């Protein structure tokens, strides 16, 4: 008996190991069964948004989807942003990836492109059809692509010639302000959106001190926030430069076009639109903290949260976080950037409209090829992309919906993008010494050591001297883009030669599209750019003026019968 007990005690470690193994196996089995009872489709969705709002929003929508589809269960896997790239790589390579993955973070673009091609299912067929969850709404017969405010521009991968993702939210930049402090210091409930009234409020705030005797800072500026002010406000007076400098008439002034226009005298740095930009910059940054060019975003947020500063710019991505950081100690308002009135003596002529904001849907998800249920995964994304659900999801998260007609949270109303507007056309970036000189001179301007006349004089000299050489240096490696296109073409050609999984005909269509859209005209465009900067492409009159011959033709044509049928 004793010998038997001794013998059994020797087996004890094995018994413990085996028992532990059986216990863990049973536990895993029970958990899995609980998550995915037999006959239930489990959809796993992986993303990097650890903000509570995102997880709450996705959970709530998942429960609603499950109610509609009782055989489906949706589980979330929220992975920290810092490790998302590695996690995605191991999951995809190991064929253990969730059914749905958020796309775009943690890896370089070429790697994502390669993953999208290899591990994700193209969604083009779903994108060109109406969303089934739009049935009974005004979007019922509209292809999914056209239900988006941005037409799903970012979901289409030119290299793959496919729509690969379904985006769910939009983002924008606006002005946040301390509503309580504004009321106390100025008596106003809202921040004015007319430029002169806005400056006047800033002046009023800057004159007052808090209970510790410290002066209030009107605008929590930093080098991070400066970029937002520049893009959304200071650049606007430069828009009309396109009428003089946009030689290829595509609506934008390229750096080569700008150099050519300066070289042949169609424009120079004393152009009043350029001068207005710097005057506006000077007027607004007066109300930034002293030495703002040395301050970071966090320092600006600190000034705002501590109620030392009253106004701050940031994006929708920060909106909820900012409310939490201020700990609800004061009420936050959101306002649009101020605009000069049409009759403003200094800016009315130059600011033709607000800053154009390209609708750009992000927070994008793709369906993995390893998914056992790709149809259900796609269907869940379509559910989230329906107007009603998209509105609901973004209301919970605190972001802007991506679908046309979806209502925006009242708190974010001011974030409604400007779909008609203007942009900066002072493109002086020729690289090399030119851009270094520009940075030096604008830094001196920002700290008040030189005025705009001095900046323009010194820069124009450097620009004319070094511009051509810098542009040629910048263009030295221009064929790189052609070689990358050639690489895509080689892959598609190879698939046509061997007969790829998506068929040679499909590869042929993609192939021709890349040749026609990206490869054929690049060399022509480059040659024209080089001729422009060398002064060999003089256009007379300026690009957006009619020559006398064209005007005469136009007048003559008015009495001629027009061709009745134009394409489309």
Q: What is the nearest approach in angstroms of another protein to the Cβ of residue 2?
A: 17
Q: Which burial class, exposed, middle or buried, applies to 229 when counting CB atoms under 10 A from its CB (0-12, 13-18, 19+)? A: buried
* Contact between residue 124 and residue 63 where contact means Cβ atoms under 8 Å apart: no
Q: Which one of 28, 68, 516, 538 is in contact with another protein (CB under 8 A)?
A: 516
Contacts of 550 (CB under 8 A, 6+ apart): none
Span 83-112, contacts to another protein by CB under 8 A: 110
Sheet strands (E) in 384-519? 400-401
Provide the 3-class DSSP secondary structure of residue 333.
strand
Please give the Cα distance from 446 to 433 (Å, whole number).
20
Shortest distance in whole angstroms from residue 471 CB to another protein:
16
CB neighbour list of residue 18: distance below 8 Å, 6 or more residues apart: none
Q: What's the chain's length in residues?
A: 568
Residues 437-466 that bind another protein (CB under 8 A): none
Cβ 487 to another protein shortest distance, Å: 5
User: Contacts with another protein in 114-133 (CB under 8 A)?
Assistant: 114, 117-118
Distance of CA 170 to the CA centre of its chain: 8
Nearer to another protein, 184 or 545 (CB): 545
389 and 379 in contact (C-beta within 8 Å)?
A: no
In the complex with another protein, the residue whose CB is nearer, 359 or 398, is 359
Interface residue with another protein, options 386, 422, 425, 446 (CB under 8 A): 422
| CB of residue 520 to another protein, shortest distance in Å | 6
- How far is 88 from 105, CA to CA, in rounded Å? 10
CB of 7 to another protein, least distance (A): 9
Of positions 64, 473, 515, 518, contacts another protein by CB under 8 A: 515
Closer to another protein by Cβ: residue 199 or 351: 351
Q: Name the one range near another protein by CB under 8 A: 177-185, 302-310, 431-439, 542-550.
A: 542-550
Instruction: Pick from 41, 113, 197, 444 the residue near another protein by CB under 8 A.
Output: 113
> Is residue 151 within 8 Å of residue 161, measured between CB atoms?
no
Nearer to another protein, 1 or 505 (CB): 505
CB 529, min distance to another protein, A? 11
Residue placing its CB nearer to another protein in the complex, 207 or 545: 545
> Do residues 49 and 103 make contact, with C-beta atoms less than 8 angstroms apart?
no
Identified binder of another protein from the candidate list 211, 214, 343, 549, rule CB under 8 A:
549
**Cα dist from 139 to 133, 383, 385, 402, 405, whole Å:** 9, 13, 12, 14, 9
Kindly state the smallest distance separating residue 394's Cβ from another protein, in Å.
18
Q: Tell me which residues in 241-280 interact with another protein (CB under 8 A).
A: 249-251
CA distances from 559 to 504, 554, 555, 556, 565 (A): 51, 10, 8, 6, 18
Closer residue to another protein in complex, CB, 4/555: 555
Q: What is the signed CA dihedral for 104, 109, 115, 121, rounded to 10 degrees?
A: 60
CB 129 → another protein: shortest distance, Å? 13
Q: Which of 336, 337, 339, 321 is nearest to 414 (CA)?
A: 336
- Backbone phi, then psi, for 395, in 5-degree steps? -65, -40
- Using CB under 8 A as the binding rule, the residues of this chain from 40 to 79 that contact another protein are none
Minimum CB distance to another protein, residue 368 (Å): 17
Binding residue (CB under 8 A) for another protein from 3, 4, 212, 555:
555
Nearer to another protein, 29 or 544 (CB): 544
Query: Which residues 318-377 are close enough to bind another protein by CB under 8 A?
Result: 352-353, 356, 358-359
Is residue 528 close enough to count as binding another protein by CB under 8 A?
Answer: yes
Its sign, for the CA torsion 256, 260, 262, 263, is positive
Question: Among residue numbers 5 through 44, which ones bind another protein (CB under 8 A)?
Answer: 10-11, 14
Asked if 298 and 220 count as a contact pair (C-beta separation under 8 A), the reply is no
Q: How far is the CB of 560 from another protein (least distance, A)?
A: 10
* Closest to another protein by CB, 83 or 547: 547
Return d(Cα 404, Cα 151) in angstroms, integer.
Answer: 10
**Residue ranges in 400-419 that form contacts with another protein under rule CB under 8 A:** 419
Q: Which of 85, 431, 500, 504 forms a contact with another protein (CB under 8 A)?
A: 500
For the bound state, the minimum distance from the C-beta of residue 230 to another protein, rounded and expressed in Å, comes to 18
Find the shortest distance in angstroms from Cβ 384 to another protein: 21
Q: Is 244 exposed, middle or buried (0-12, 13-18, 19+ CB in 10 A)?
A: buried
- The residue range among 198-206, 304-312, 462-470, 511-519 that interacts with another protein, by the rule CB under 8 A, is 511-519
Residues between 469 and 498 with contacts to another protein, criterion CB under 8 A = 479-480, 482-483, 486-488, 490-495, 497-498
Cα separations in angstroms, 225 against 6, 176, 311, 321: 76, 12, 11, 17
Among 264, 265, 241, which residue's Cα sits nearest to residue 351?
A: 241
**DSSP assignment string, 396-434:** HHT-EE-BTTPPPPGGGGGG---SS-B---------HHH
- Smallest gap from Cβ 228 to another protein, in A, equals 19
- Secondary structure (H, E, C), 111-162: HHHHHHHHHECCCHHHHCCECHHHCCCCCCCCEHHHHECCCCHHHEECCCCE
Nearer Cβ to another protein (346/515): 515
Closer to another protein by CB, 39 or 251: give it. Answer: 251
**Closest to another protein by CB, 212 or 568:** 568
Per-residue binding letters, 149-188, with another protein (x by CB under 8 A): xxx-x--x--------------------------------
Tell me how far, at minimum, the Cβ of 478 lies from another protein, in Å: 11
β-pair type (309-315, 156-157): unpaired
Q: How many residues bind another protein (CB under 8 A)?
A: 72
């Amino acid at each position: 008996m004793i010998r038997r007990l001794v013998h059994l005690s020797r087996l004890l470690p094995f018994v413990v190991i085996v028992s532990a193994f059986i216990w863990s196996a049973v536990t895993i089995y029970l958990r899995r069964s609980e998550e995915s009872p037999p006959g239930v489709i489990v959809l796993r969705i992986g993303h990097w948004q650890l903000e509570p709002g995102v997880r709450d929003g996705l959970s709530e929508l998942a429960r609603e989807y499950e109610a509609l589809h009782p055989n489906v269960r949706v589980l979330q896997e929220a992975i920290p942003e810092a490790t998302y790239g590695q996690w995605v790589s191991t999951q995809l390579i190991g064929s253990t990836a969730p059914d749905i993955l958020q796309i775009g973070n943690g890896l370089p673009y070429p790697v994502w492109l390669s993953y999208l091609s290899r591990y994700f299912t193209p969604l083009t067929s779903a994108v060109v059809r109406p969303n089934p969850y739009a049935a009974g709404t005004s979007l019922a017969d509209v292809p999914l692509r056209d239900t988006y405010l941005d037409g799903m521009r970012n979901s289409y991968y030119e290299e793959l010639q496919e729509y690969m993702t379904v985006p769910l939210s939009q983002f924008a930049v606006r002005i946040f302000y301390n509503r309580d402090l504004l009321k106390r210091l100025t008596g106003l409930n809202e921040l004015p959106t007319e430029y002169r009234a806005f400056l006047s409020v800033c002046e009023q705030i800057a004159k007052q001190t808090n209970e510790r005797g410290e002066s209030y800072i009107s605008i929590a500026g930093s080098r991070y926030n400066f970029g937002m002010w520049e893009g959304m406000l200071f650049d606007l007076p430069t828009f009309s430069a396109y009428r003089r400098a946009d030689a290829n008439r595509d609506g934008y002034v390229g750096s080569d076009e700008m150099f050519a226009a300066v070289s042949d005298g169609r424009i120079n740095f004393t152009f009043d639109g350029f001068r207005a930009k710097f005057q506006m910059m000077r007027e607004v940054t007066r109300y930034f903290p002293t030495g703002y060019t040395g301050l970071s975003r966090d320092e600006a947020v600190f000034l705002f949260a501590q109620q030392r500063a009253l106004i701050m710019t940031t994006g929708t991505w920060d909106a909820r976080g900012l409310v939490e950081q201020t700990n609800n100690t004061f009420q936050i308002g959101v306002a649009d950037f101020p605009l000069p009135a049409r009759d403003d003596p200094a800016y009315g002529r130059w600011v033709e409209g607000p800053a154009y904001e390209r609708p750009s849907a992000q927070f994008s998800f793709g369906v993995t090829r390893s998914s056992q249920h790709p149809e259900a995964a796609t269907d869940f994304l379509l559910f989230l992309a329906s107007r009603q659900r998209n509105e609901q999801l973004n209301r919970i998260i605190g972001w802007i919906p991506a679908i046309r007609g979806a209502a925006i949270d009242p708190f974010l109303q001011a974030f409604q993008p400007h779909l008609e507007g203007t942009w900066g056309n002072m493109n002086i970036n020729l690289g090399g010494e030119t851009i270094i000189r520009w940075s030096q001179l604008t830094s001196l301007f920002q700290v008040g050591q030189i005025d705009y006349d001095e900046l323009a004089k010194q820069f124009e000299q450097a620009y004319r001297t070094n511009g051509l050489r810098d542009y040629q240096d910048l263009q030295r490696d221009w064929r790189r883009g052609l070689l990358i296109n050639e690489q895509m073409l080689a892959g598609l050609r190879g698939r046509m030669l061997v007969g790829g999984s998506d068929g040679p005909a499909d590869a042929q269509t993609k192939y021709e599209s890349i040749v026609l859209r990206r490869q054929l005209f690049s060399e022509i465009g480059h040659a024209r750019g080089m001729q422009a900067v060398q002064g060999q492409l003089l256009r007379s009159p300026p690009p957006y003026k009619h020559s006398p011959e064209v005007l005469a033709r136009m007048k003559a044509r008015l009495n001629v019968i027009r061709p009745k049928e134009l394409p489309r």
